[in-house]
Structure 1
Amino acid sequence: MDNGLVFRRLMKMLVSVFFVAFVYLIVADRCAPFTTEGRVFGQVVQIAPEVTSRVTNVAVSNNQYVQKGEVLFELDKRKFLIAQEQAQLALLAAQEQERIMQSQRLMALASISSAQAANDNAKNEYKRVAELVKHNAVSLSVVDNALKQYQVAQSRLDMEQHNLETLEAQLGAPDKPITQVLQAKSRLEQAQLDLANAVIRSPSDGVVTNLRLEAGVMASANVPLMTFISDGSMWVGADFREKSVANVTDDYFALVTFDAYPGKVFEYSVESRDQGVATGHQNPNGTLTQIDVNNRWVRDAQRTRINLDSKDTLPNSIFIGSRATMVLYSGESWFWRQVAKTRIRLTSWFHFIY
């Protein structure tokens, strides 16, 4: 056979293979998108005390599994106990003050009754003297004296009524404690809350990890001291080129192989796709728009994150940050399902090497 003919046939085969592979990559990128940028994510809770004090006891060890409400560490309670006792004494003092004011109110009512009687008596005396002066039975000085006595009695009655109004304003509504008692109760509740917050407990079932806390450390309020991973909070996500997942919906499925489990393939369902990336976020800072300049002819494709259903169980050895490879396929296409299975299976075998 002519060598030239063989060469032409070989070139035709290579061109055909290249063309088929090129078409396959374009179509597969839309129908069965593939990525090696998968990772296990999780909700990491930073445990921080709500009060400031010195750590007296660390009740857990690194990577220990704990249940909800279990003690993680404790702070020095002495100053909180003192604050609670002071708040209790302040409440007792306020309640005593309330009882004193109630007694003063009863005394004010009695004083009003006495002043009212004296006022009525002075008023009647003035009327009698005024009637007698018409018949020249008494002098005008007697009338003036009776009038003054009546005016003094009236002023005393007004003063006693004013004192009662002042006490009632301080006492407030009859069926409610006075303001000082309410304030003392509020301070006591805050002191009791601070005392309870001196014991830091697990917010849920989970694992304490990266523990670097020791007794004697000075803990500040709202400053994280411990890392906690909630049980069942991990999920798998992967970054795809945006054009690859433009048509991905909730009826898509994912085949995943983890670096920690070479040769094994796990199937999950697609839960959601993120609606933004950090590079597109802008803060209202009062400046002009910053233009990103890219001099490359072919720029890097933008990637977006696909999240898998977090209700599906993950393998035991998987941790937050574990790497994974993922391929998506539509549940309606048998062909692309087989293509996805074949591709992810080959990738899982290669994980034995790298």
Structure 2
Amino acid sequence: MSDEQLAAEVAEKESVEKNNRVKKITNYLLAAIVILLLFSIVSDRIIPITDQGRVKAYVVPIKPQVSGQVIDIKVKPNQLVKEGEVLAVLNQSDYKIAVAQAEQNLEIAGQNVGAQTANIASAQARLTSALVERQNVQVQAARVLAMAEKGVVSKSDADKARASLATAKANVLNAEADLDKAKQQLGEDGEENSQIKAALLALEQAQINLERTEIKAPTQGGVTNFSLSEGFYASAGQPMMTFVSTDDIWIEAYFRENSLGNVQAGDPVEVALDFLPGKVIKGRVTSVDWGVDWGQNNQAGQLAQATTQQGWLRQTQMLPITVEFDRSEAKGLLRVGGQADVIVYTNDGFFFNAIGKLWIRLKALLSYAR
């Protein structure tokens, strides 16, 4: 065999071996892609994860119920306050005068019917305070009970709200009983006297208006978005500042529709907040929303709107779930509207859960860079 034939044969063998190596590498890559694709599909239903999470809370505009000049501002922007803490004080001069005048009118009305009215005024003041307290408790209880129905707060919180409301109602009944007793001391004529009734109503209104000059925090939370200064005239019903309640904070996370098949209320959750890089907080699913607005609410008298979406795969629909998490781990560091990565563990499988825990911690570390 000549040297040329031998060289040709060697070159042919090398070409075959090279082609075989390329085929092997290609097969390995295709196998890896198939395995990763299958893993992604399965894991998306067992440990669904999303980066479309937001910290949510009740945001309430603080509006005074009476008008007046601001004479004292008790808080600073973005300060945390406790429930019932005074935020600002309006000028009370006119309202104190109104109370004093109402008390004098009540005294005069009592003198007209020949009776003492000191006990009535005291009992009326107690009733006024009890009515204001009941009103505040009713608002807080209604909010807590509404969240309890959605599963955002625990049943024990709902029971506490009901108990507080029952106590407030009982205090009103006791105050009304004391007022009735004081009225009876006036005698039959005094109790039915229209002057006494009118004077009592005027006194009650004056006392309520005086109490309303102290603007208080409805719950524990923070105040923001205000630039008040002493001398500012606050008008009744006009917002003075924004209040963010920290009593009820949750995360609203949006997942792909086809990844929620196994998600149920009570499933454990881990959350990586962008505001807390490197830290993972535990929580649980409290509810999965029933639906979302998909922009097809056609009005009567108009033709239906046909979707223009085209392509082999339609656009993914995102559905929200509500997540309750351990706020004690992030106390004082939460920001409403903050972004979060959320992963849900739908079963107790060790393999997928271990991978999910590693992945969410990697996402938490990446928060340092994004």
Q: TM-score, normalised by structure 2?
A: 0.68
2:357 matched to 1:341?
yes
Partner-residue secondary structure (3-state), 1:249: coil
Contact 2:50 2:253 in 1 (8 A): yes
Distance across 1 between alignment mates of 2:195 and 2:339? 61
- Once superposed, what is the RMSD of the aligned Cα atoms? 2.9
List runs of 5+ in structure 1 lacking aligned partners. 101-171
The 1:99/1:261 distance shift into structure 2, 3 A limit, reads closer
The sequence identity of aligned pairs, in percent, is 31
- For 1:35, the equivalent position in structure 2 comes to 50
Distance across 1 between alignment mates of 2:242 and 2:307? 40
Distance across 2 between alignment mates of 1:326 and 1:219? 42
The 1:87/1:308 distance shift into structure 2, 3 A limit, reads same
Per-residue deviation at 1:19? Answer: 1.4
The 1:205/1:263 distance shift into structure 2, 3 A limit, reads closer
Aligned-partner residue type, residue 295 of structure 1: Q
Q: How does 1:264-343 map to 2 (within 5 A)?
A: 264-279=279-294, 291=305, 293-297=307-311, 298-310=313-325, 312-316=327-331, 317-343=333-359
Contact 2:220 2:246 in 1 (8 A): yes
- For 2:275, the equivalent position in structure 1 comes to 260
Contact 1:253 1:331 in 2 (8 A): no
Partner-residue secondary structure (3-state), 1:222: coil
Partner-residue secondary structure (3-state), 1:234: strand
List runs of 5+ in structure 2 lacking aligned partners. 1-13, 116-186
Per-residue deviation at 1:269? Answer: 1.8
- For 2:155, the equivalent position in structure 1 comes to none
Partner-residue secondary structure (3-state), 2:242: strand
Per-residue deviation at 1:336? Answer: 2.0
Per-residue deviation at 1:202? Answer: 2.1
Contact 1:251 1:331 in 2 (8 A): no
- For 1:158, the equivalent position in structure 2 comes to none
Q: How does 1:1-354 map to 2 (within 5 A)?
A: 1=14, 2=16, 3-99=18-114, 176-279=191-294, 291=305, 293-297=307-311, 298-310=313-325, 312-316=327-331, 317-354=333-370
Q: TM-score, normalised by structure 1?
A: 0.70
Per-residue deviation at 1:219? Answer: 1.1
Distance across 1 between alignment mates of 2:34 and 2:221? 52
The 1:277/1:213 distance shift into structure 2, 3 A limit, reads farther
Aligned-partner residue type, residue 244 of structure 2: I
Distance across 2 between alignment mates of 1:346 and 1:260? 15
- 1:232-266: per-residue Cα shift (whole Å, max 9, x none)? 43222311112211321124211222223333323
Per-residue deviation at 1:37? Answer: 0.8
- 1:25-53: per-residue Cα shift (whole Å, max 9, x none)? 22111111111111222222322111112
Contact 1:233 1:310 in 2 (8 A): no
Per-residue deviation at 1:197? Answer: 0.4
The 1:292/1:61 distance shift into structure 2, 3 A limit, reads farther
Per-residue deviation at 1:351? Answer: 2.7
